[in-house]
Amino acid sequence: MKKIVTFPNQILRTRTVVVTAVDRKLVNQIKQLTAELMGQQFGAGLAATQLGFKSRFFGIKNQQKEVDIYINPRLEASYGNKIFPQITTKDGPEDFIEGCLSFPDLWGTVKRFVKIDVSWEEIDGKNLVTRHKTLEGFEAIVWQHEADHVDGILFVDLVKRDGGKFFWWADDKEKIPMAVDEILDKEKQ
Ligand SMILES: [Zn+2]
């Protein structure tokens, strides 16, 4: 199985190439990405660049715990402003924190649209066919995170842009606040 690329590997900054044809290479890359994501118990999504692929697609686990593949993803419309999303817990509302398989043990808050209309392409035999749907909540957030990846944009960039919270959280240790620049500066070294 292919290893997931971790930051600051510059492969993660690749602006991927639009998929124009269904060929063996694409099918093989999708198979590898699907297998890798299925094997990640805590991974909600995985983008092509995270496996070193330069094609424009990503995968997201759906509610049946299968992987949906989105080729040439496009954000078609959004509802409302970007906000720091919240989730409801037994102790009340809490910030939704994003993580990324390319940033083990690092988490942060990012402003996202909580409802979006998206389109993408799917493989149908030897052809690509366009699909549309509306996503809300967790799925919408994951979709935006993965769509950023195929443009070489990482959640840490957005934590910085939005002035979000950022912390290191390993095993059972408590969340340790960190400056996001501590991580971003690794790219300059
Ligand atoms: Zn990610």
List, for residues 109-167, the tens digit of each pLDDT value: 999 999 999 999 999 999 999 999 999 999 999 999 999 999 999 999 999 999 999 99
* Separation of CA 59 and ligand 1 centre (Å): 11
Average pLDDT, stretch 19-30? 97
Q: What is the mean pLDDT of the chain?
A: 95
Amino acid letter, residue 17: V
Average pLDDT, stretch 59-64? 94
Average pLDDT, stretch 14-39? 97
Q: Is the pLDDT of residue 75 over 90?
A: yes
* Separation of CA 134 and ligand 1 centre (Å): 21
* Separation of CA 147 and ligand 1 centre (Å): 9
pLDDT of residue 112: 98
Q: Which of 94, 146, 174, 182 is catalytic?
A: 146
Q: Is the pLDDT of residue 68 over 70?
A: yes
Average pLDDT, stretch 98-104? 96
pLDDT of residue 98: 96
Domain boundaries 10-188, CATH class: alpha beta
pLDDT of residue 174: 84
pLDDT of residue 175: 86
* Separation of CA 102 and ligand 1 centre (Å): 6
122 classed as catalytic: no
Q: What pLDDT band is residue 1 in, cutting at 50, 70 and 90?
A: low
